Amino acid sequence: MTCRLIQIGTGNQGEAWCRKFLPPNVEDGTVEVVAAVDVDERALANAVDALSIQEERCYTDAETAMRECDADAVALVVPPKFRPELVSLAVEYDLDILAEKPIADSMADTLAIVELVEATGTKMGITMTHRFRQDVSSLRRQLQSGEHGPADYLYGRYAVNARSRGSWAGERLYDLEKHPMLVDGAVHHLDLLADMAGDRVETVFCHSWNPPYSDFAGDPNAIVQVVMENGSTVVYEGLNTAATTFNGWWSEHIRANCRDASLVLNDGGLWRFPYDRSAEGCLGHTGTTDGIRVDLERGAKWGNTRLIERFAEWCNGGEPMETTARASLQTMALVFAAIESAETGESIDVQEFLTGQIELHSADSFDRSSDAD
């Protein structure tokens, strides 16, 4: 059964949805985009042009679109600060929700959204795009195969030259006062690294900074160290102010150290380096492409295109998608615990942090309910 979808947000990332992520799902009948919404009328041209949406089905007000259109779900491709209001509207109109990451731009709003959708039985999925890329999925499959033994260490690097205003993902991120890298960038990378490590996060330590020569208001750079409950370690380097781009979006470097091999993902390619006892030593250098090339997994849909399909399958009675709002709480807790670590200089127990935030949210909800009475 085709999932009838209202797309809210058709500019910036929303344009990629119109032109790249949605069309394959429209063509094969997975979804039907019944309306498009954007506060900027000019951005609606993307939906008209790429998705053949009739102009009378283009709106500048989300509630009007929900009220007038016969739909099953909404796709929220808007900045995080607008999500709580739009989620509430979708719940009011009995619509399931697929939203861009992060769930919200604060832990409090994140918990309020998850609580609302679970209390009302609303299905809500989060598009953690990078975890479902072809190259990342291929590396995860190699790790899960057990062929290389357990992984005790993963390293991820994203390093780009985007220090000047507007060169990284649009103007708005340069004006975020505190942690644009962690909230809008590292959320993807930390999610996929923790997922490949195969367990819940135990502790996180983060140092973030903003060099004087950048145009960012908040910290565009971060180094994050994570210890998983299974004992494996993850280190992440996220830089937006490098002098040149070493590993940009979709070209990140990820290295997994396993007992029997090292696996290296770099610029979309995957290589395997088997352990060799006779080659042990502390001198020399092995290039990224000196290993054995590993073929990538085959599939017709990857990234957001695949996640849209998974969401539609879920809405039609299939298994829940991997990145439900509830499942994504672990990633959100990791990100906001990393922010707390960056601000306090201390290592944070992520599960204690999440439990504490849930208790605080419950207490706040109880106080608001008591005030209302």
Tokens of 169: 């993902």
Please tell me whether residue 339 adopts helix, strand or coil conformation: helix
The confidence score (pLDDT) of residue 274 equals: 98
How many Å apart are CA 340 and CA 336, to the nearest integer?
A: 6
How many Å apart are CA 145 and CA 31, to the nearest integer?
A: 33
What are the chain's domains? Answer: 3-122+303-324 (3.40.50.720), 131-293 (3.30.360.10)
308-322 tens-digit pLDDT: 999 999 999 999 999
313-354 tens-digit pLDDT: 999 999 999 999 999 999 999 999 999 999 999 999 999 999
Contact 102, 335 (CB under 8 A): yes
89-105 tens-digit pLDDT: 999 999 999 999 999 98
How many Å apart are CA 56 and CA 70, to the nearest integer?
A: 14
Amino acid occupying residue 319? E
Average pLDDT, the chain: 95
- The pLDDT of residue 366 is above 50: no
Which has more pLDDT, 184 or 7?
7
How many Å apart are CA 236 and CA 156, to the nearest integer?
A: 5
Contact 348, 204 (CB under 8 A): yes
Amino acid occupying residue 123? K
Average pLDDT over residues 156-163: 97
Give residue 183's Cα distance to chain centre: 10
pTM (two decimals) = 0.93
- The pLDDT of residue 53 is above 80: yes
The backbone torsions φ and ψ at residue 248, rounded to the nearest 5 degrees and listed phi first, read -95, -175
209-264 tens-digit pLDDT: 999 999 999 999 999 999 999 999 999 999 999 999 999 999 999 999 999 999 99
Q: Whose CA is closest to 126, among 97, 105, 90?
A: 97
Average pLDDT over residues 292-299: 97
Tokens of 291: 């290993």
174-224 tens-digit pLDDT: 998 889 999 888 999 999 999 999 999 999 999 999 999 999 999 999 999
Distances (CA, A) of 80 to 76, 83, 109, 172, 250: 9, 5, 10, 12, 22
Average pLDDT over residues 48-73: 97
The confidence score (pLDDT) of residue 373 equals: 57
- The pLDDT of residue 369 is above 80: no
60-69 tens-digit pLDDT: 999 999 999 9
Pairing of strands 269-274, 201-209: unpaired
pLDDT confidence bin for 363, thresholds 50/70/90: confident
The confidence score (pLDDT) of residue 371 equals: 60
